[in-house]
Amino acid sequence: MDTLLEVDGLSKHYGGLAAVDDVTFSVTEGETLGIAGPNGAGKTTLFDLISGHVGATAGRVSFAGQEIQRLPIHRICRLGLSRTFQLPSVIDSQTVFANAVAGSHFGTAQKARFRWGYTPEVAERAHEALDFVGLSDKASTPAGPLPVFDKKRLMIGQALAARPRLLMLDEPAGGLTPPEVDSLVELIGAIRARGVTVILIEHVMRALTAVADRVLIMNQGRRLFEGTPAQMMADPEVARVYLGTSAGGDHAQS
């Protein structure tokens, strides 16, 4: 399989703090990579650097053979890389459908040619994405009052409406009940089955080990470990730095 994402020597410094410090890894097309590590390890900053939300201090990000570290967010999205956020970032005042349209439109290269602001193709992608995440029946309801899992699914729907080759999920299982985590694992399995490459940051060990082919553990901005979920669970350094901590230990029970 071909390499889809290549991260090489990527760093982000905030003054004297190296939030991400010389991180190198790659992701193969069709693979699911899990990222975990203690709070403040630099996981979200790593996502922000890859998706273009934050500029790198040093290093290179290559997506489908093209360097993207200096491209604006919408260009990166239109190349086929979309993401979700740790906290549900849906537009509360808009309907579920309008939220999906926003994601679909963001990922579409063509300019809006219709006076109501989106093309039939954009609407079609939005409907299809809502159907896929199981929110079609709520399409015309406002997003604001939705429960957490619905908002998280909507965020995933928005990202999928952009038709990504690579989907990056930031703590999708955070705040969910155990049955919701099961549904999420199923949903990520269905996304994988479509051939979409997935990178997820996840503290909930049950979710991480269920979906990830490979795991990258970060600590203090650096890569601490890379291997299979089984190798991770047996690694003494990962146990010492992450799984043995209250964060990792508590979440491992979830």
Ligand X SMILES: Nc1ncnc2c1ncn2[C@@H]1O[C@H](COP(=O)(O)OP(=O)(O)OP(=O)(O)O)[C@@H](O)[C@H]1O
Burial class (CB in 10 A: 0-12, 13-18, 19+), 232: buried
DSSP string, 58-91: EEEEEETTEE-TTS-HHHHHHHTEEE--SS----
In the complex, the smallest distance separating the C-beta of residue 43 from ligand X, rounded to whole angstroms, is 4
- Residue 197 found at the interface with ligand X (CB under 6 A): no
- Residue 19 found at the interface with ligand X (CB under 6 A): yes
| Cβ atoms of 245 and 38 closer than 8 Å | yes
DSSP state of 31: -
| Cβ atoms of 185 and 210 closer than 8 Å | yes
Nearer to ligand X, 53 or 78 (CB): 53
Residues 41-70 that bind ligand X (CB under 6 A): 41-45
Nearer to ligand X, 36 or 135 (CB): 36
Helices 120-133 and 148-161: crossing angle in degrees, nearest 10, is: 140
Nearer to ligand X, 97 or 242 (CB): 242
Give the range of 14-22, 108-116, 147-155, 186-194 binding ligand X by CB under 6 A. 14-22
Distance between CA 236 and CA 224 in Å, rounded?
11
In the complex, the smallest distance separating the C-beta of residue 200 from ligand X, rounded to whole angstroms, is 12
In the complex, the smallest distance separating the C-beta of residue 187 from ligand X, rounded to whole angstroms, is 22
- Residue 40 found at the interface with ligand X (CB under 6 A): yes
Q: Which residues bind ligand X (CB under 6 A)?
A: 14, 17, 19, 37, 39-45
